[in-house]
Structure 1
Amino acid sequence: MSLIDVDNRRAIIDRRAIAERFRSGGDVAEILRKALEAGREEIASRIASEPGSGRAAAQATAFLHDQIVRLAYEAVIGTTDPALALVGLGGTGRGEMAPYSDLDLMFLTAKRPSPETEQIAQAMLHLLWDLKIKVGHSVRSTTDLISLAKSDMTVRTAFLEARPICGTTQVFDGVMQRFRTDVVAGTSAEFVAAKLAERDERHVRMGDTRYVVEPNVKEGKGGLRDLHALYWIGKYVHGVERSADLVSAGLLTAAEYRGFDRAERFFWSVRCHLHLLAGRAEERLGFEHQRQIAEIMRYADRPGKSAVERFMQFYFLNAKSVGDLTGVFLAQLDEQLGKKGFRFALPTILRKPKRLAGFVLDRGRLSIPTDGFLRDEPLRLLEIFALAAREQLEIHPTAMRAATRDATLIGRKLRDDPRANAFFMEVLTSIHHPETVLRWMNEAGVFGRFVPDFGRVVAQMQFDMYHHYTVDEHSIRAIGLLAAIERGELKDDHPLSTALIKQIASRRVLYVAVLLHDIAKGRGGDHSELGAEIALRLCPRLGLDPAETETVSWLVRYHLLLSSTAFKRDIADPKTIEDFVRLVQSPERLRLLLILTVVDIRAVGPSVWNDWKRSLLRTMFEAAEERLRLGHKQHGRAELVEARQKELADAVNWSARAVKAHAKRLPDSYWLAEPPSWQIANARQVATAEAHIGDAQPSVAVENDLESGATRVSVFTPDREGLFYRICAGLAGAGANIIDARIHTTRDGMALDNLLVLDGRGKSYTDKRLRGRLARAVEVALSATNPPPLPQTQTSSPRSKAFTVAPSVAIADRASTRTTVVEVNAGDRPALLAALTAAIHAEGHRIHSAHIATYGERAVDVFYLTRADGKKLSERDIGALRDALVSAAGRDSRAEAA
């Protein structure tokens, strides 16, 4: 790129006018600082008026820094003329810099740098640092540079885009000639292989997908660096001077280059806006900036899809385009190098496929015999992917290029063709990594054309902190996890699902349900209900019979039922199981729903799945399965209580009288709700506490619970008003996150409360000292004369500030026979639970259990309540409580603490 392309350069910086100020005796640093500030303001105003002019802004920024460097150089050297070239590298050399990019300079000399050269370099660097410019710099001789470029691929790549800014250009010309002859010549294959390995490592570091919802614009998969890598390779192999020259080099077609150019311009615009908003070199497009950039770039809301979601969908479509271009670019390059005996791609197979149906193999990759092979018979657009899945073959980029081009041939006729649908189902239900082939279908545009409803969610993000991937990527990952479970590869993580998947009647029902469970997102309305309607229409086309179609539709409609019930309701309450089983109706549906729920949660993103969720889902499944299998619970309430008490007697080795006394103190709800291992631990804790007669200190036990993967906090102390609030406040003050709680009162007025907590990383407290700290925090909160204030919390993160969650309260009076179930939805924050419990206690109500779930920035806290007299809440109680909880949920606890 030529810096002459910059429009109205003197409005950005007038070098002659500034040089004149130097001669007038002004302070050099101050003059340059004002010039830099004025230039940045001019560039910012230009991109503000033309939000899509990011590349022009990047070029203007490079021009501004060029002039600053030249002026600084002239001020430092004065009237001397050192044999020194000041060279821009990387983006500085290419002539494209984001507003806060580093300035990458090399001080280049023909011979070993002299003391004078070192002094000039130091003086210039100090001057630039005074201007708050971050400078990457080096001082090299010609010999040093060539030697380093031979051994260090980073140096070689940086110098590939080198450009003289000022100084003695003959030095630069000489070293560039040597670089081409001594370094570049004959090393194309080596360079390409190194750049591809570097790209792969970078992708892994950035998440190895284009579809993370907070992408890195510069380094992420499908971002600017991937485009730069194509340009570097083209420049190294063919000596291209501009990215447009990739067409004449035979690496891209004119149409493909237009896609390259469109993506590059878009990403430069996003990157420049991101830098300007952050006021620094920020490359991660975080939630806190997405909404602002969508507004700046003039995206508007549409029914069912917000402006920020439309902006991010266009971002991901461009990232997808970069991936497509990379594939065809590398295929062309491989062919070119192959003619010279320097192929860099080495995929191969050690067997022959059974049959290729007219397709061919190109060094182990599935390809097409002629350019028009897919166009001549559009059915082959599906067949090639089915063949790849069946034979576990990689598809050659040449064939992918043709599939991408010819995907437009997919219309109603092909979509209704039973053969095409059979090919699609073969891919979808393949046990051999179907996610890989589905991703290829998606990249080529075949997936969205063949299943138009899926095409509507391609590259669609969900603007929240819970979902880590776009809707299409989430669904494809879920299918991959399903196949991995069926292959037995996730037996340790998901033993129940691994066992159940062998028992289901129809594999394809499960795979189709996983594909369709989120297919109606972004349309407005309930995506589960809309998705169920889509399933009824689509499944017959895919070859499913009426019974299978009905089951898929039901699974899509209720795909959140199991998780929402297990995570938000008291599964020890018989009414919870009754209501759930009334909807599920059959053991087969229950098995399918459990597996669908597992892969759905696992595919949301890393760290979303944990042992606690596994434990809740398993407990829920087992209770429901027993009810469905027998038509009733195998053991009645009284029988189960008696069995639990006998299990305790066998474990603690107490006298029959002591066991009977302990059992009599606790209500039946305790014996039904708590796991036997907790009941045993509680009994020993109570016995130890009561052995210390006269000790007024509360008994607090903190131990790790292997089954749930969390830490159990058990509190035994005299019951009193606001007790549970004190416990919550103490734990919140110590930094613990409560995920579940059950509150019990003995018949003689003691409280026995069991809570599960996790640390700030979502893990149990493995350090014994930290568990001791939790216990002390609760003890202090319980022993204080007055209830502790709400803990002072840290300021919300910039990410969470990007979201507004309006607090809401839902009352489910029929969800329990004995209690009123209150569900609070609010923006998650530390000490939220403490604030809510304070409001409940202030209204005079008793909490019997609390269940806490978080979904990114949103918290869902569910309480099972009664009035102080043990009765359900009245309408008047509910109205007052609703107002109090909405106020507490929306109130910032930092303000209260202050």
Structure 2
Amino acid sequence: MANGEKVSANGEKVSSGASDLVRARDQLLIEAGGPEGNGRNARLDPEALRQAMVDLFELWLTTKGHEVGITADSGLAIVAVGGLGRREMLPYSDLDLVLLYDDVDPQRVAEVADQLWYPLWDAHIKLDHSVRTVPQALRVAADDLTAALGLLDARHIVGDEGLSTLLISGVRRDWRAGIRSRFEELIAQTETRWRRSGEIAHRAEPDLKNGRGGLRDIQLLDALAIAQLTDAMPGLGPEVPGGGLKQAHRRLLDVRTELHRVAGRARDQLRAQDADEIGAALRIGDRFDLARTLSDAARTVSYSTDVGLRTAGNALPRRGLARLRRVPVRRPLDEGVVEHAGEVVLARDARPQRDPGLILRVAAASAQTGLPMSATTLNRLGEDAPELREPWPKEALNDLLVLLGAGRGTVDAIEALDRTGLWGRLFPEWGVVRDLPPRDAIHTWTVDRHLTEAVAQAGALSTRVARPDLLLIGTLLHDIGKGRTEDHSLVGAELAVSIGKRLGLWPADVLTVSAMVRHHLLLPDTATRRDLSDPETVNMVVKLLDGDPQLLELLHALAEADALATGPGVWNDWKASLIGDLVRRCRMAMAGEELPAPESIPAELRRRAEAGGVHVDLEPGEGRYHHVVTVVAPDTPGLLSDAAGVLALHSLRVLSANLTSVGESAIDTFVVAPRFGDPPDPGLLRQELIRAINGELDLGTVLARKEREAGGTQRSPYAQAQPRVFWIETAEPGRILLELRAEDRIGLLSRLAAALADAGVNVSWSKVVTMGSVVIDTFCLDLGASDTPQRRAEIEEAVLSVVPPQQPKKTSEADTENGSTSVF
């Protein structure tokens, strides 16, 4: 070609000018269907695009190197590290290069470096560069752990290959020789990175490169393999769920490649607004399908990293007095199970081929002791252990209960079994919920991880029930029906029957576990949606449970474990008191005792109500930070809105509200929690409530200003939840329950009450439950003969007009830089 032009792998002309390199890269992205693509050209998949990028940059560097005199006998060499060194060049990755030289005039080296770097800088290609002799580069690697890890990926591009070989072999030799003294620093650096970037599998907007389970961890495993402390794929081959570490690596790379292509720039953090587009481009599905794929890949990498670090630590040569210590003793833990070198392994005489229950004994020993299961042991069990016959032997069921009742150790043990395919062998139904992302914003974990977290919580509650075995099994299965189009409680109840029979439970116990799964939402839903003083509420629950007090007891404990495993703030003192009150009333009904009547109004409050005027009292509540505010005032439209607004004005978060009328006055009782500090003086609350009632205090304007000062609507990192309204029928004609699920905002209850008042709706009572950043507010409305679909639609529109809407998808780069995060 004329003028030094070459032809790239895709047929494009590439000259030695870096601007041509950029144009060729952009053309590749167009042909790959990138941001400027028209979609009519054949689309390169992410792996092919990465290879094309590698070929393109190598061609340019080779051409430019020859042009400036970097030849085989020049004493100069270009070495690539980073993405180009690993042959993982992403569309907008930094170009990491080292110019090596030996016995070359420094002035000549500087001229060559300028001829290499300046064209790249002029073309706005991000460049990380250095110019060194081989000894200098080795010293840098010896002094800087990050530089050493980067140089382990070094690869010769052009020039004196002998120089490149000296560097690459020297770095790897020194790495192997010095790993013993650097291992603790390597662990500390890795844990710091994990704390800073979080877990990819359970992060709303994960860092694909630096997060736990990301690409940096795969590079860490490669570094340990180069040090000859472990192999590059410890513990997980292609036969395990998800295809093993190699497949997980490719999936992470593919998503990050597509993220670069969609964003049009280098990016490591996958943001919510890009998730649907990336999922569709990779033919994975929507953002939930993408989240599931990433969770699977990241948890596979995390497990492999744990195994790799543990194996490497055990393989390190001992030093000092440690050399004189005897070989670690094999301590028996159970039949065929021993502890060795800090891991749970098989005894020498164990025969997995003849012992199908060995898998559960190993896992139970691991959960109880907190010791990890050896990857070699898990692989051997996967290859040799036969299937458990159905129904399971009693010993196997007992080992399962030991595993489930071990608290926090349960989570790690089940995770290890699941990543290696053994848990799915015991519970084939688990595949549907494995890595399934939550659809509700208040959930922290994937569905399968939520189940194991709930079991860990239930273990701490086992002494509160007469059948802790059923509590553990029912908790493990309570969401097993998710991931299907039907009601997950009904599907799960059917699955629980087949699983219970497989486990060898008695028929009556199978029915109890199935009922636990079917009704696991009954108590929290009823306690937060219904009037507990209404006998019909209690009778409904008792009837659904067939009057079974044991089932009621199990559901009570399951409700707490489920909430504790859902996310921060979901279980709180107020919710506990609501469910506890409902359970107490149901027990009395089941025992044939007379249900308590609604609490009578204290004489002093009744006297104040009859006397008229405005009164405000503030007293300590049941929780440490809870307070009870009682408002007595003339029963006028908008009183609830005014009272709730005054509370919000003083940063008092309303946890519940109870409304009662006495003659011409209303008695509103609020359970509140200060967002910070101590509550205000009740006299001040009274003064401002009077001003609000008289129209002298514009609460709408003041609350809006307070919200702006607090940073908008204070939206959570999961702020993609669509606000929803549910209508729930009652036994009384014309009386209906309106339940709102939405993100919280300052003064939300005040706004809702005002919207209902403006719509001409009479609110008989209300319940407010705050779970983290999400509220579930239930209002009992007296609509009478006006209860029509059209009337309900009007009320729903009025309510939704004052709640935070679903966050719109942002398109501009400026918006995405400063926008709030959200679950994808």
TM normalised by structure 1 equals 0.72
Greater alpha carbon shift after TM alignment, 335-344 vs 51-60: 335-344
Specify which of 562, 577, 600 is matched with residue 562 of structure 2: 600
CA RMSD of aligned residues (A): 5.2
- State the partner residue of 1:400: 378
Change in CA separation of 1:779 and 1:42 when aligned onto 2, cut-off 3 Å: farther
Deviation at 1:157, TM superposition (A): 0.5
SS of 1:260's partner is helix
Deviations 1:92-116 (A, max 9, x none): 4323233343444556666999799
Take 2:690 and 2:355, find their aligned partners in 1: how far apart are those partners? Answer: 76
Q: Is the Cα contact below 8 Å between 1:83 and 1:168 reproduced in 2?
A: yes
Specify which of 205, 225, 229 is matched with residue 220 of structure 2: 229
Deviation at 1:563, TM superposition (A): 1.4
- State the partner residue of 1:427: 403
1:440 aligns with 2:419: no
Take 2:573 and 2:754, find their aligned partners in 1: how far apart are those partners? Answer: 29
- State the partner residue of 2:249: 264
Q: Is the Cα contact below 8 Å between 2:688 and 2:697 reproduced in 1?
A: no
Specify which of 758, 761, 767 is matched with residue 845 of structure 1: 761
Deviation at 1:394, TM superposition (A): 3.6
Deviation at 1:143, TM superposition (A): 5.3
Q: Is the Cα contact below 8 Å between 2:438 and 2:446 reproduced in 1?
A: yes
- State the partner residue of 1:38: 27
**Ranges in structure 2 where 5+ consecutive residues have no aligned partner:** 1-5, 806-824
Look up the equivalent residue of 2:766 and give its one-letter code: A
SS of 2:444's partner is coil
- State the partner residue of 1:276: 261
Q: Is the Cα contact below 8 Å between 1:288 and 1:802 reproduced in 2?
A: no
- State the partner residue of 1:9: 8
Specify which of 348, 366, 387 is matched with residue 410 of structure 1: 387
Q: Which structure's residues are more often helix, by fraction?
A: 1
Change in CA separation of 1:130 and 1:588 when aligned onto 2, cut-off 3 Å: farther
Take 1:115 and 1:573, find their aligned partners in 2: how far apart are those partners? Answer: 92
SS of 1:440's partner is helix
Q: Is the Cα contact below 8 Å between 1:824 and 1:862 reproduced in 2?
A: yes
Specify which of 533, 537, 540 is matched with residue 498 of structure 2: 537
Take 1:90 and 1:772, find their aligned partners in 2: how far apart are those partners? Answer: 66
Take 1:548 and 1:879, find their aligned partners in 2: how far apart are those partners? Answer: 44
SS of 2:779's partner is strand
Take 1:317 and 1:817, find their aligned partners in 2: how far apart are those partners? Answer: 50
SS of 2:765's partner is strand
Look up the equivalent residue of 1:764 and give its one-letter code: R
Deviations 1:74-109 (A, max 9, x none): 99999xx99876654333432323334344455666
Change in CA separation of 1:169 and 1:506 when aligned onto 2, cut-off 3 Å: same
Take 1:641 and 1:510, find their aligned partners in 2: how far apart are those partners? Answer: 37
Deviation at 1:414, TM superposition (A): 5.3
Change in CA separation of 1:85 and 1:261 when aligned onto 2, cut-off 3 Å: same
Specify which of 601, 607, 626 is matched with residue 661 of structure 1: 607
Take 2:698 and 2:441, find their aligned partners in 1: how far apart are those partners? Answer: 37
Take 1:777 and 1:112, find their aligned partners in 2: how far apart are those partners? Answer: 83
Q: Is the Cα contact below 8 Å between 1:111 and 1:142 reproduced in 2?
A: no
Look up the equivalent residue of 1:765 and give its one-letter code: F
- State the partner residue of 2:277: 292
SS of 1:865's partner is strand
Deviation at 1:534, TM superposition (A): 2.5
Change in CA separation of 1:626 and 1:892 when aligned onto 2, cut-off 3 Å: closer
Change in CA separation of 1:335 and 1:708 when aligned onto 2, cut-off 3 Å: closer
Change in CA separation of 1:139 and 1:115 when aligned onto 2, cut-off 3 Å: same
Look up the equivalent residue of 1:14 and give its one-letter code: K
- State the partner residue of 1:813: 730
SS of 2:600's partner is helix
- State the partner residue of 1:882: 792
1:459 aligns with 2:435: yes
Take 2:430 and 2:556, find their aligned partners in 1: how far apart are those partners? Answer: 23
Q: Is the Cα contact below 8 Å between 1:58 and 1:268 reproduced in 2?
A: no
SS of 1:227's partner is helix
Take 2:675 and 2:764, find their aligned partners in 1: how far apart are those partners? Answer: 24
- State the partner residue of 1:318: 297
SS of 2:210's partner is coil
Change in CA separation of 1:811 and 1:384 when aligned onto 2, cut-off 3 Å: closer
Deviation at 1:516, TM superposition (A): 1.2
Deviation at 1:156, TM superposition (A): 1.0
Take 1:587 and 1:894, find their aligned partners in 2: how far apart are those partners? Answer: 41
Deviation at 1:521, TM superposition (A): 1.0
Take 1:756 and 1:70, find their aligned partners in 2: how far apart are those partners? Answer: 72
Deviation at 1:470, TM superposition (A): 1.8
SS of 2:450's partner is helix
Change in CA separation of 1:615 and 1:734 when aligned onto 2, cut-off 3 Å: same
Deviation at 1:515, TM superposition (A): 0.9
**Ranges in structure 1 where 5+ consecutive residues have no aligned partner:** 1-6, 23-27, 301-306, 487-500, 649-658, 668-681, 687-700, 867-872
Deviations 1:2-54 (A, max 9, x none): xxxxx9835486332xx3xx6xxxxx76x666455434434555998788932
Change in CA separation of 1:781 and 1:119 when aligned onto 2, cut-off 3 Å: farther
Q: Is the Cα contact below 8 Å between 2:464 and 2:557 reproduced in 1?
A: no
Q: Is the Cα contact below 8 Å between 1:400 and 1:444 reproduced in 2?
A: yes
Change in CA separation of 1:258 and 1:893 when aligned onto 2, cut-off 3 Å: closer
For residues 200-599 of structure 1, the aligned pairs below 5 Å read 200-207=191-198, 210=201, 215-237=206-228, 259-299=244-284, 308-323=287-302, 325-326=304-305, 352-353=331-332, 355-357=334-336, 359=337, 361-368=339-346, 373-389=351-367, 393-406=371-384, 409-410=386-387, 413=389, 416-430=392-406, 433-483=409-459, 485-486=460-461, 501-571=462-532, 575-584=536-545, 585-599=547-561
Look up the equivalent residue of 1:812 and give its one-letter code: E
- State the partner residue of 2:811: none
Q: Is the Cα contact below 8 Å between 1:757 and 1:764 reproduced in 2?
A: no
SS of 1:502's partner is helix
SS of 1:353's partner is strand
Q: Is the Cα contact below 8 Å between 1:335 and 1:343 reproduced in 2?
A: no
Deviations 1:487-542 (A, max 9, x none): xxxxxxxxxxxxxx434221101111111111111122221122222333332442
Q: Is the Cα contact below 8 Å between 2:215 and 2:249 reproduced in 1?
A: yes
Change in CA separation of 1:478 and 1:118 when aligned onto 2, cut-off 3 Å: farther
- State the partner residue of 1:742: 658
Change in CA separation of 1:8 and 1:583 when aligned onto 2, cut-off 3 Å: farther
- State the partner residue of 1:148: 140
1:766 aligns with 2:677: yes
Identity across matched positions, percent: 26
SS of 1:456's partner is helix
SS of 1:291's partner is helix
Deviations 1:860-879 (A, max 9, x none): 4311233xxxxxx2242443
TM normalised by structure 2 equals 0.78
Deviation at 1:398, TM superposition (A): 0.7
Change in CA separation of 1:394 and 1:786 when aligned onto 2, cut-off 3 Å: closer
Deviations 1:179-236 (A, max 9, x none): 345x325224445565455445544555568455654433344333332222222234
Look up the equivalent residue of 1:879 and give its one-letter code: P
Deviation at 1:844, TM superposition (A): 1.6
Take 1:607 and 1:595, find their aligned partners in 2: how far apart are those partners? Answer: 17
Q: Is the Cα contact below 8 Å between 2:204 and 2:717 reproduced in 1?
A: no
- State the partner residue of 1:161: 153
Look up the equivalent residue of 2:455 and give its one-letter code: I
Take 1:461 and 1:894, find their aligned partners in 2: how far apart are those partners? Answer: 23
Look up the equivalent residue of 2:554 and give its one-letter code: L
Q: Is the Cα contact below 8 Å between 1:852 and 1:859 reproduced in 2?
A: yes
Take 1:774 and 1:284, find their aligned partners in 2: how far apart are those partners? Answer: 46
Change in CA separation of 1:47 and 1:223 when aligned onto 2, cut-off 3 Å: farther
SS of 2:414's partner is helix
Deviation at 1:715, TM superposition (A): 5.7
Q: Is the Cα contact below 8 Å between 2:612 and 2:634 reproduced in 1?
A: no
Change in CA separation of 1:383 and 1:171 when aligned onto 2, cut-off 3 Å: closer
Greater alpha carbon shift after TM alignment, 545-554 vs 307-316: 307-316
For residues 88-107 of structure 1, the aligned pairs below 5 Å read 88-106=80-98
1:641 aligns with 2:600: yes
